[in-house]
Structures are given as structure tokens and as C-alpha cells.
Amino acid sequence: MDSIAEKKAVTFASVLRNNIYRDRDVLHALLPSTGLLHRTEQKNELVMELAPILMNSAVSCVFVYGNPGTGKTAVITQLMEELEAEAKRQKVKLIKAYVNCSENRTETTILIDILSQINPEKTYPRVGWTRAKAVSEFKKVSEELKTNVMVVLDEVDYALKESGDDILYRLSRINTKVNAKTSSNVSTILISNDVRVADYIKPKTQSTLGRVRVIFAPYAEEELRDILKDRAKSAFAKDAVSDPILQKIAEIEASRGGDARKALELLDSCAKAAIAKGRSKVTLDLVDEADRTLEKDTIFNIVATLTKHQKLLYLAMLKSSKKELDGGNVYKLYSEVCEKQNVSPLSIRRVRTFLVNFSELGIIKSEVTWLRSLRKKSRTITMDVDAATKKKLRKSIRDSI
């Protein structure tokens, strides 16, 4: 009887009648009302580094980096709010600008985004400006404002990989000009999901940047459990989610990289699975089921957003029976797929860029190693996808090309 009941159709009315959720938004809030857990050390470090701004003194570029879901953006957002509030109390002039570099990847678009925030009286075009014009306008506005400007460049690794480090050199040098005393003090925080971000910065630029590095390590199992428990108190009805459920989710996500965002997504997915089955609480069996569903849904959604050649490359790797592939072999497989599709393959260099992107998206695991015997670097690609999902992905890609 139970299996029959679980197969009943789900309606909006049945979902709304279920009382598992109390306030679902709590699970996905960047800054929960209860505060951020297990990031006091990093926050204290940043407070000490940013305090000189309240003394009208510019702060050199502060690097904040760590894996996705480790609280970097949340801590910086909270600190910016606190810094702004304290500046008002101290009667210190402060303007802040936040730029996400995954959306603005060139020096020109980054500067225009900053300008639109620090000089809102003027309308700036999103396209059409040259870099020289954007740089000239930025210098002009900086000199006219005569204030403290706090610039946050989030996911800066995107801009560095695509356009180089000119924007960092520009921001790091702006306070050293002759008329610095009569101009604005520009301070910069750089946030990166890539711990190897320094590899994309030229030595000349590195020498002008500040030496401060604040590292956000992945959350440990106990820390993830605390975060889940804190959010669950407000997000769910009493007794809807038990401690063993939270512990199991913490174990799963700690083993995968300590991403708090993914842990909260899995908890949310468990609740939705319980509602779909007409249950009033989350049970342990639902954790594995929700995890499998979430992983499959995630990879299908990501693949759907890929460009045609990215799909062809991913299809080539999916067709291989090997779990591990080397970079050279991947390009050969990709070229063969292109030939069958009557499409000219892109360059090896472009395909390497795609592989780096795939790794960042989490749909492959990519590692560059040094082969001593051949005295050269080699990229090893691992695809952790089960046979059934591979088959569905191949069909999905073929249908969309």
C-alpha cells in the first residue's frame, strides 16, 4: 500500500498542505539572520586589513580565495555593510562598488561597471567604449570624487584567464600618482574561487599588489553539520529534519570538498523529495535518493548551457569507454566527432580552455601533472559519470546539436 501511496500525483495544493517547510528562503540566504558560522578568523583578518580605510588611507589589493561555497562572498558582503555603517558614524566618506567578473571579464567592462556605481549621476554605456576611454574616465572621476572608494572584484579569476591582469595593475597603481593626496583613495578586494589565481598574474603586476592573502578553507564535516543545523532550525518545522539527516549530508559534502552551498541544496532537495512522497519528515533513505537526483539534474543543466563545440568535446569524452583520458587523446576524439558532424574542429589551445572550464563547472576532473620520463606536462581528465547517465547525456547532446 505504501508504494501505491507514494506514486500518487503531486499537486500544488498537496505541496502547500505539507508542513515540512517553515521558511525555505533561510536555506539559500547569503547572510542568515543568525550570522555566519566558522568564519570568525577570516573576518577578523579582513577587519584588520580594511580598518585603515576609516583613517582615510588606501588599502592595497587584498586577495581572498578558496573553493566555491566556503563563505567568501558572504563574509565580504557582511564586512562591506559593517564598514559602510562605521564610516557613517566616523563621518568618513566612502563609496563601494561590487563587480562580478564572471559577467564582466575585460578591463573596459569592469571599469564601466565600477563607474556606474561610484558615479551614478552619469549614465555609462555597456558597449561601445574603448579601453582608453574607460581608463581616462575612471581616472577623471577618481580625481573629482576625492573620497574613499572600496572596489570588490568577485570571481576575478574569470577576468584574469580571459583578458589578463591589466585591471589589477591599474587598480594597484592608482594611489601612487603624484596628485594622490588630492584624489580618491581606491582600495581593492579580489575574490577568487581558484586557489591558483596567482598563476594568471604577471610578475610585474604581482610586485605592485599587496601581499595579504586570506584563505577560506573548505568546511570540515563538523562545521557543515553546524551550518546545516543552524539553518534547519528556522527553515523547517520542528522534528521535520533530524540530526542523523544533517550528519549524513555533512559527511557527503565534506568528502566532496566542503561546499556549504551544496550541502544546503542537498538538504532542500531532501525536503522536496519528502513532500513529493507525502511524508511529514525527511528520512535517511531520501538523502541518497535526493543526492543522486541532484547530481544528475545538475550535470544535465550545465551541459544544456554549453556552446556547440563544447558539447561536441563533451560528447567525444562521453563516447570513450576509458574513465581517464589524456589531453592529446581527448583532442583526437573531439576531432573525430567533428568530422562525423561535418564541422571544422577548433584549435588545441581552444579545446584546452574548454577543459579548464569543464573542470571549473565540475563536469570533469582535470589535473595537470609533470611527466619526468617525457620531460613535459600532461593533462589527465577523469569523468565520474555512471553508464546510465552517460547514455542519457549522449542522447541529450546529439538531440541539441
Position 34 in a domain:
no
- CATH (domain of 356): 1.10.10.10
Q: Kindly report, residue by residue over 162-198, the tens digit of the pLDDT.
A: 788 888 888 887 776 544 555 789 999 999 988 777 7
> Over pLDDT 90: what percentage of the chain?
52
Residues listed for the chain: 401
pLDDT at 92: 95
Q: Kindly report, residue by residue over 288-336, the tens digit of the pLDDT.
A: 999 988 877 788 889 989 999 999 999 999 988 887 888 778 999 999 9
The chain-wide mean pLDDT, for the chain, equals 87
- Provide mean pLDDT across the span 94-119: 91
Q: Of the candidates 241, 273, 302, which is a domain's last residue?
A: 302
Burial class of residue 139 in the structure, from the number of CB atoms within 10 Å of its CB (0-12 exposed, 13-18 middle, 19+ buried): middle
Same domain? 46 vs 190: yes
Q: How confident is the model at residue 7 (pLDDT cuts 50, 70, 90)?
A: low
Q: Kindly report, residue by residue over 341-376, the tens digit of the pLDDT.
A: 888 999 998 998 898 888 888 888 877 654 444 455
- Provide mean pLDDT across the span 379-393: 82
C-beta atoms surrounding 40 within 10 Å: 11
Q: Of the candidates 196, 216, 236, which is a domain's last residue?
A: 216
Residue 27 is placed in which grid cell?
A: 536555506
Q: Of the candidates 302, 317, 345, which is a domain's last residue?
A: 302
pLDDT at 266: 95
Same domain? 250 vs 330: no
Position 364 in a domain:
yes
Contact by Cβ (8 Å): 50, 79 = yes
- Provide mean pLDDT across the span 56-81: 92
Boundaries of domain holding 377: 306-400
pLDDT at 376: 52
Query: What does the radius of gyration of the chain's CA atoms come to, in whole angstroms?
Result: 24
pLDDT at 1: 39
- Provide mean pLDDT across the span 128-150: 91
Number of domains within the chain:
3
Same domain? 126 vs 236: no
Position 334 in a domain:
yes
Q: How confident is the model at residue 3 (pLDDT cuts 50, 70, 90)?
A: very low
Q: 4 pLDDT exceeds 60?
A: no
Same domain? 46 vs 8: no
